[in-house]
Amino acid sequence: NPIEVLPRLLDILYKKIGGHVNEKSFKVLEKHDRLIQGDGVNMESIKDILNLLERIGFSADDLVFASGGKIYDDFK
């Protein structure tokens, strides 16, 4: 479940590789370090994950979403 796992992963990465706090007071990982979330990605889960990032103080720049063709079908 990304809602449970992502906060732990982001905290670990921020502590181990570092980052900075941006002008909006969100934590941003180092320039070339990001997480990829591809499992279970749909429009609803993307909203939930982005809301989570905001609540825990991490920037949306720290995460990249990936999906197969199913998400495309959801737009039709």
Residues linked to residue 27 through DSSP beta bridges, in sequence order: 21, 58
Q: What is the mean pLDDT of residues 40-64?
A: 94
pLDDT at 30: 96
Q: Which tens digits make up the pLDDT trace of 1-43?
A: 899 999 999 999 999 999 999 999 999 999 999 999 988 888 8
pLDDT at 42: 85
Residue spans of the domains in the chain: they are 2-69
Identify the DSSP state of 19.
E
CA–CA gap between residue 8 and residue 37 (Å, rounded): 14
Whether residue 70 is predicted with pLDDT greater than 70 in this model: the reply is no
pLDDT at 21: 98
pLDDT at 76: 60
